[in-house]
Every structure is written in structure tokens, then in C-alpha cells.
């Protein structure tokens, strides 16, 4: 039976709230498979779907405790199958598994935890140095191993190591340890000076497997390596300096050689990493001209415009990203933040509420909506979002603020 066949014609009782899909998208999914949602009282259900919020985390607790007597009877009679929400997403082929987002970090949380800018976290993700555990409507979530990798990336960046040198070291580690999914997060690595070293027994070796003793020589060698372009064909095109002559801030003009959208976006990423935000924004605009607007490119451009301090332009690009993809939750949330910063609090609250409509367990959106509602003197509504944020992200860098607000 295929993924599509499994859901066709199902009569589904939903217990609790679905965290992996908005109600609108769930209704759309059912319509596509000629299935429908029913009440347990109709006694026609063939599937009982329990939201991950209510599904027990330990094997000692039965999921039946979350059900009413009518629904339990349908399951006891064998007319309805009982499954968790995550199983549904797996069976219909939407995901391989549904991690618990309460144990994960969003890019914004990770940036706050490490004390780096959000754009740096995004650049690590674009280069493949961080791999999301899962994505919900384009919103990335990172687990503890990726957090460990991010800490090492932050240390290397602070030491002055270039992204190109970090990518090269990561590729070498991946080749030496093919069974390790995340070398930066799982191997016993040490940041020494400007080099990433691997601890083996009592000694240290570099990422190529050479033992290292003369650390001054190491620093000099790495300084030379930082100036080199990666030659390895395994490096994805988006991580290479594919069009060197468009990296100059003055290179974007009518006589510039033609470049593909991917090459222009690669140039924009390098310009952003070098702090040349205006040139990076021009590269994004050129990519839109070359390949047409997409939600992702509009989002990147909006973030660059925000860093340039052009809030009205950033706001319009966030609006455009949402228009192109209405389920782009991070674009909705960022739009809400820009609107709030611009003093448009009612519109900000609406944008953040829209993000939660798409992804109800988006902790960042609960946090920013709570702050916005507080500013609007809608204290009771704000408390609900402070409480939900504290439940979803108890280890977040912003969790203490939430706890103080709830105690007050």
C-alpha cells in the first residue's frame, strides 16, 4: 500500500491539537485523499489520531487515558486504529520522524545562546556546517549535537578562522569518519588558536590526520590556508566562490557578466559574511531579476535590509515572502517583529498570530507575541503566550524572562 492509498477514505477522530500542521493544511491534506474529520460520537471513525502534545512520553502510560469513552469503545471494538500524530506524518510520507520540538533550538534561540548574530547561524546552515534536525514550514530546528557543533563554530569564528577554512576542515573530518553524522558535534575536538584539532589519546592531530606539536607553525599554516579557495569538488556550489568578479560591492552594474541566480546568492552569502550588507542586498536583487522572486530570496533580502537599518524596505520584503508562501512561518514572525519595532503593534500581533496559525508550537512566535500584547496592555492574552513559551522552550535563553513575567 502506498502512502497515498493508506489515507484514502479514512474517517478520522482528532484528539488534542496537531503540532506539525496547521488546521487549514490538515483539512487540505484530508481533502486531497478523500478523507474527512469526524466526531467520535458519529461512531464511523476508522482512525483515531492523538496529537503529540497528548501522546504519553513514557511507555508506562497508556494513550487511551487521553480519550473519551466513546473513542475508547471504537478502538476496543477494532473498528478504529489508534496512532500518534508523528506516525501519521511518517505514513503519509511527509517526514521520516517527528522530533519533539521542545528539546530543540530555533535559529534565533541558537544565536541568542551563543551570543552571535542570527545571520551567522543562517550562514552556517547554508554552508552545511549545521544540519537541522527537522524543518516545519521552512523553520529549522537544531538538536543538542548541532548546538555543540555551533559552539565550536562560534569559537572558530571568534578566533578569526574563515568560513572557507572551517568548511574544508569539516569535509576532511567527514571523510576520515564517514559513520559520524555531525563531526563538529560528536567528535572530541579542540579549538586551538585558529585551528580545529582532534584529541586522540594524549595527543592532538589536525583534521588531515597529522600530529601537531608546533602550534606557532600551525597558526601560520592556517593563516595561509585562509587565503586559499577550496579545490575539493565535493564542496557544494553554494559554498564555493563561484563568480569571483561579482563579489565586489561595485561589481553590480549593467556591464557586469551574466551570472545564474545560484551564483548570485552564493556571492550574497560571502558578502554578508564579510559584513558588506549593501552589496549582499544588491546581489539578492540581481538574483531576483535573474531568476524571479521566491519566498526564500525575499526573506534573505529582508534580513539584509533590516541589518542595514531600512525597516520599511525590510517590512515590504517580508510581506512579499509571505505572499509567495503563506506558510513561511519565520517570515511571518520576522514581519511581526519589524512591525512591532516600527510601532505598528496591532499589525505585529496579527502577523505573529498568523505564524502560530501555521505552526502552533513555534516558541519564538509565542515569545514575541507575548511581548507585543504586553505593550498593547492586553495582559491576560499575553500571559497565555508567556506560559506556552515557557512550556515549549524551558531551556531557551529567553526562558528566564518568561518565568519572571509569569511570577510577576
Choosing from 61, 91, 121, the residue where a domain stops is 91
Mind giving me the DSSP string for 71-99?
HHHHHHTTSSEEEEHHHHHHHTTS-S---
Cα 349 to Cα 340: distance, rounded to the nearest angstrom: 8
pLDDT tens-digit series, residues 120-135 = 888 888 878 888 888 8
Is the distance from CB of 366 to CB of 385 less than 8 angstroms? yes
What pTM was estimated for this model as a whole? 0.55
pLDDT tens digit sequence for 12-62: 999 887 766 667 778 888 888 889 998 877 778 889 888 766 776 555 566
- 197 vs 310, higher pLDDT: 310
Secondary structure of 160-186 in HEC code, one letter for each residue:
CCCHHHHHHHHHHHHHHCCCCCCHHHH
Do 170 and 266 belong together in one domain?
no
At 51, which CATH number?
3.40.50.10190
Instruction: Tell me the per-residue pLDDT of 320-347, one tens digit each, with 9 for 90 and over.
Output: 999 998 889 999 999 999 999 999 999 9
Q: Print the domain residue range for 178.
A: 101-237
For residues 263 and 313, membership in a common domain is answered with yes
Q: Are residues 251 and 179 in the same domain?
A: no
- 219 and 272 both lie in a single domain: no
Rounded Cα–Cα distance for residues 82 and 75 (Å): 7
Please provide the average confidence, as pLDDT, over all residues in the chain. 78
Whether 304 is covered by a domain: the verdict is yes
Question: How many domains is the chain partitioned into structurally?
Answer: 3
d(CA 72, CA 46): 12
Residue 251 sits in the same domain as residue 223 = no
346 and 277 co-located in one domain:
yes
Model confidence over 162-195: pLDDT tens digits? 777 777 777 777 777 777 777 777 777 776 666 7
Amino acid at each position: 500500500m502506498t502512502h497515498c492509498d493508506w489515507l484514502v477514505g479514512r474517517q478520522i477522530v482528532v484528539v488534542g491539537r496537531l503540532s506539525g500542521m496547521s488546521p487549514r493544511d490538515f483539512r487540505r491534506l484530508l481533502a486531497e485523499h478523500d478523507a474527512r474529520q469526524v466526531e467520535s460520537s458519529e461512531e464511523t471513525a476508522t482512525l483515531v489520531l492523538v496529537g503529540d502534545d497528548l501522546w504519553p512520553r513514557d511507555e508506562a502510560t497508556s494513550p487511551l487515558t487521553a480519550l473519551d469513552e466513546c473513542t475508547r469503545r471504537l478502538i476496543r471494538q477494532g473498528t478504529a486504529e489508534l496512532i500518534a500524530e508523528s506516525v501519521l506524518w511518517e505514513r503519509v510520507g511527509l517526514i521520516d520522524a517527528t522530533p519533539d520540538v521542545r528539546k530543540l533550538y530555533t535559529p534565533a534561540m541558537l544565536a541568542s545562546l551563543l551570543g552571535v548574530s542570527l545571520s551567522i547561524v543562517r550562514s552556517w546552515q547554508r554552508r552545511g556546517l549545521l544540519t537541522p534536525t527537522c524543518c516545519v514550514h521552512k523553520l529549522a530546528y537544531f538538536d543538542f549535537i548541532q548546538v555543540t557543533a555551533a559552539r565550536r563554530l562560534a569559537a572558530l569564528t571568534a578566533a578569526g578562522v574563515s568560513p572557507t577554512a572551517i568548511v574544508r576542515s569539516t569535509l576532511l573530518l567527514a571523510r576520515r569518519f564517514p559513520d559520524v553524522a555531525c563531526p563538529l558535534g560528536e567528535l572530541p575536538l579542540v579549538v586551538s588558536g585558529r585551528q580545529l584539532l582532534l584529541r586522540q589519546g594524549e595527543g592532538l592531530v589536525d583534521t588531515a590526520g597529522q600530529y601537531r606539536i608546533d602550534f606557532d607553525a600551525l597558526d601560520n599554516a592556517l593563516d595561509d590556508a585562509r587565503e586559499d579557495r577550496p579545490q575539493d569538488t565535493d564542496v557544494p556550489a553554494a559554498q564555493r566562490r563561484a563568480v569571483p568578479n561579482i563579489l565586489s560591492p561595485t561589481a553590480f552594474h549593467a556591464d557586469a557578466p551574466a551570472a545564474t541566480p545560484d551564483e548570485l546568492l552564493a556571492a550574497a552569502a560571502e558578502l554578508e559574511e564579510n559584513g558588506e550588507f549593501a552589496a549582499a542586498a544588491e546581489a539578492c536583487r540581481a538574483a531576483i531579476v535573474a531568476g524571479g522572486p521566491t519566498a526564500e530570496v525575499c526573506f534573505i533580502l529582508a534580513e539584509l535590509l533590516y541589518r542595514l537599518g531600512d525597516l520599511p524596505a525590510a517590512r515590504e520584503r517580508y510581506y512579499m515572502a509571505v505572499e509567495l508562501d503563506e506558510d513561511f512561518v519565520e517570515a511571518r514572525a520576522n514581519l511581526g517583529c519589524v512591525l512591532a519595532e516600527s510601532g505598528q503593534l496591532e499589525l505585529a500581533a496579527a502577523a505573529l498570530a498568523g505564524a502560530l496559525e501555521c505552526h502552533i508550537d513555534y516558541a519564538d512566535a509565542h515569545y514575541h507575541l507575548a511581548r507585543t500584547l504586553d505593550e498593547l496592555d492586553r495582559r491576560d492574552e499575553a500571559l497565555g503566550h508567556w506560559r506556552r513559551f515557557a512550556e515549549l522552550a524551558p531551556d531557551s535563553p529567553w526562558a528566564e524572562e518568561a518565568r519572571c513575567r509569569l511570577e510577576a
